[in-house]
Amino acid sequence: MREFIFLFFFIFFTGFVSGIRVSPTEISFEEKVGEKSCGNISIFGDGVIIVEDRWSINEERNFLDYDYKSGFFGLDVIYEKEFLVENYSEMDVCVKGKKTDFYSGVLLLRIKDSNEGVGVWMNVNVSDGENILGRISGKIIGESNVKVEGIFLISSFIFLLLLLLVLVIYFRKEKKTI
């Protein structure tokens, strides 16, 4: 029975232990040359968060290709470089492009004094302004994902409680047969 209790707590607590999560995992910006466009990222975790951005020449998502700074492409990327998160926080990211092009980047967030971190893919489309239909910001996406996160946590908790109930019934039956 002690093994069962240990197994239950191990499964239960490992499902909720994580260092840092972000929502959305991808954010897109559409803007005119010289115009600033902003989006919002939700951050779940605890600790001091260090943020940096990296950019790539290609649009492929091979992380090793993302070794350029935003200035190389004439991009101004504005965000808080270091801040404290206690459970949940939001972060604004703004981008301003100086020349027409499509840019692929990643915003890296990591816990200070740790190797643990996550990334948010960034797509920036800077145009001369003739065919921009609207902006896509992470705020709208992030708000809907916050609800999904809550539903996921509640459903995980219910699933683990049901698993506990099934295991208790199973072990009681097994104990009676002995």
Q: Which domain holds residue 113?
A: 2-177
pTM greater than the 0.75 cutoff: no
Q: Which of 123, 30, 105, 36 is nearest to 68 (CA)?
A: 105
What is the pairing mode between strands 82-97 and 75-78?
antiparallel
User: Could you write out the DSSP letters of every residue in 37-92?
Assistant: EEEEEEEEEEEEEEEEEEEESSSS--GGG--B-GGGGTEEEE--SEEEEEEEEEEE
Q: What is the pLDDT of residue 155?
A: 72
Q: CB–CB of 135/30 below 8 Å?
A: yes
The one-letter code for the residue type at 168 is: V
Q: Distance between CA 86 and CA 82 in Å, rounded?
A: 13
Q: What is the pLDDT of residue 171?
A: 84
Instruction: Determine which of 75-84, 114-123, 161-170 has the lowest per-residue pLDDT on average.
Output: 161-170
Six-digit token string for 19: 């260092």
SS3 of residue 135 by DSSP: coil
What's the full length of the chain, in residues? Answer: 178
Number of domains in the chain: 1
Instruction: Determine which of 2-6, 19-23, 77-81, 136-140 has the lowest per-residue pLDDT on average.
Output: 136-140
Helix (H) / strand (E) element for 93: namely strand 82-97
Residue 115 neighbours by CB under 8 Å, 6+ apart:
none
Distances (CA, A) of 27 to 99, 104, 141: 20, 10, 9
pLDDT at residue 132 greater than cutoff 70: no
Q: What is the pLDDT of residue 16?
A: 45
Q: CB–CB of 146/44 below 8 Å?
A: no
| Per-residue pLDDT reduced to its tens digit, 140-154 | 333 444 455 566 667
The CATH number for 32's domain is 2.60.40.10
Helix (H) / strand (E) element for 27: namely strand 26-32
| Per-residue pLDDT reduced to its tens digit, 103-125 | 999 999 999 988 888 999 999 99
52 vs 18: which has the higher pLDDT: 52
